[in-house]
Amino acid sequence: MTIQYREVKRKANVGERIKIVNAGLSFGHYKNGDTLTIVKLDKDGNALFPVKRGEGNPDGLFFASQHEYVVLEPIAQETSGSANLPEAFALFMRENAAAVRKYLDEIETPTVADVVTEPKPLTRSQVIELAKADIAELLRIGRDICGRLPEGTALHHTFYTAEFYVNREKRAVTALVSTTGFGGKVNRRNVAKATAKAAPDDVFHAEIGKAISLRRALGLSVPDEYVNAPKPDEPRVGAKVYAHTLSGEPYGIKTIERMRPELDGEKFGNYAANFVGDCGFLADKQYEVIDDTDVDYGASAERIAA
């Protein structure tokens, strides 16, 4: 008897099977469509599953975060003959013993809809933090004697480092990768190079550009979250904008110094702001954010009047 499953968007339990639907920082260990069996949960609730040892994972485990997977829950199937019921039930119990024990230990059993819910999209600030962590992890692998890039990449068994060149005027970031010795000293410069350039309608951010260019230079896939990062939900202090009159005549590139919500109005729009070096104000009908590299998304998003 073939057991059928339904896909449920929730946190997995030890012993359950999951399906990857939104692969992120997989480092080649999994991809969309893969089904995996969970053997452990870490302190952050991430689902751990076995992988090949010796690829930067000496314990032979790797993790997938909750937004990357759905849980495969078995669906009870009717059989045409009663003689098959004991065998089907035994098979079901063998394959799902850990999950059944977990369910029996729970006081309340959650009601789960059969319809699979789409993973909640990341916010821009979350994408930026993901990019920063990704860069740090890839650079750590480059200097870690036990660290490994995925098999098939040019620097799989090589120490490496990277330099970044950010050109905010051209809205581009270039990553130059060099190989190093055991002590970190560069022995071959610029063995790999890649550039990430923001599209005309994108908002540039240096950290996202670094993550994209470094992954390309190392021969790794680029997560869709980076390429299609959401634009800022509202202008913030530190953002660079392209300013213009209501009729479209350019004022030039300016940097938001302070938000002025008390000056919001229908004529000029909302998100009124003062700009560095200017004594007046503009509102969002007169500017578009083009670069938020200097925005502190960790600060309060509340706009405070002067």
3-state secondary structure the chain: CCCEEEEECCCCCCCCEEEECCCCCCCCCCCCCCEEECCEECCCCCEEEECCCCCCCCCCEEEECHHHEEEEEEECCCCCCHHHHHHHHHHHHHHCHHHHHHHHHCCCCCCCCCCCCCCCCCCHHHHHHHHHHHHHHHHHHHHCCCCCCCCCCCCCCCCEEEEEEEECCCCEEEEEEEEECCCCCEEEEEEEEEEEECCCCCCECHHHHHHHHHHHHHCCCCCHHHHCCCCCCCCCCCCEEEEECCCCCEEEEEEEEEECHHHCECCCECCCEEECCCCCEECHHHEEEEECCCCCCCCCCCCCCC
**pLDDT: is 111 or 302 the higher one?**
111
What is the C-alpha end-to-end distance of the chain, expressed in Å?
70
Give the confidence band of 304 by pLDDT, cuts at 50, 70, 90.
very low
At 124 the pLDDT is 93
Q: In this predicted model, what pLDDT tens digit does every residue of 268-290 receive, in sequence order?
A: 899 999 999 888 899 999 999 99
Residue range 124-148, pLDDT digits in tens? 999 999 999 999 999 999 998 887 8
Domains and CATH numbers, the chain: 4-105 (2.30.30), 124-227 (no CATH), 232-306 (no CATH)
Q: pTM to 2 decimals?
A: 0.61
For the chain, the average pLDDT equals 84
Supply the pLDDT for residue 177: 96
Specify whether the backbone of 74 is left (phi greater than 0), alpha (psi in -120 to 50) or beta.
beta
pLDDT digits (tens, 9 = 90+) for 185-233: 999 999 999 999 999 999 999 999 999 999 999 999 999 999 999 999 9
Give pLDDT, residue 111: 55
In this prediction, residue 115 carries a pLDDT of 57
